Amino acid sequence: MGIYDDLNQAGLWKLLVLVQIIVIFIFIVIIKHLYKQAYTDPLTGLYSRRYFYKKMSELKPNTQVSLILLDIDCFKDINDTYGHLVGDKVLNQFADILTNNTRANDIICRWGGEEFAIILFRTNAMEVMDITKRIKSAIENYDFSCGNINCRITASIGIVSAKIEKGLEVEQLITAADKALYKAKEKKNCIIMGMEYM
């Protein structure tokens, strides 16, 4: 009888360990899902603005970083003319262009609406300009489509490049890129380099 009790207890312990493993696995899946939800834009699949700020806050001193802010020109006209479903499709295709024309370690985020941001680590002003020109050209030459609707778009782009040093706040870098973007939006379909921290 004692042998059977030992076997039953061993089986029970194995079952309890198995249940614990399953519960831990489920928790890991749930946590990963919640993390993804918190840091991913649901429409484009790009990182969210929250993730952008998280990565920017992790920048260490003496890190060379460049920032690209992009705004789709006259995007309201697309929504007004073709509807929001076409607008959403354009945003998805635009996100694909950004993904296909940046490097694996660059952080691409949907900033909000039709605005996007790209963080480029260890990238100087000349390198970020080359990457930005490639992105601009890809946007101009792409046939955005949804069903039988085709359209061409352009984007206004502001960029800034700086070495993170003591006293340089991330917000200053963002403000510099935002000012450059604002100047670009006045002209449309152009790239403006922010000079504040060059």
Task: Write down the pLDDT at residue 197.
Answer: 45
CB contact set of 184 (below 8 Å; sequence gap of 6+):
71, 156, 157, 158, 190, 191, 192
The residues carrying an active-site annotation are 114
What one-letter code names the amino acid at 189?
A: N
Task: Write down the pLDDT at residue 88.
Answer: 95
**What's the whole-model pTM score?**
0.81
Task: Write down the pLDDT at residue 198.
Answer: 40
Residue-wise pLDDT tens for the chain (198 aa)?
Answer: 455 565 567 677 777 777 788 777 776 666 666 666 668 999 999 999 999 999 988 888 788 899 999 999 999 999 999 999 999 999 999 999 999 999 999 999 999 899 999 999 989 889 999 999 999 999 999 999 988 999 999 999 999 998 877 656 778 889 999 999 999 999 999 999 986 544
Task: Write down the pLDDT at residue 167.
Answer: 56
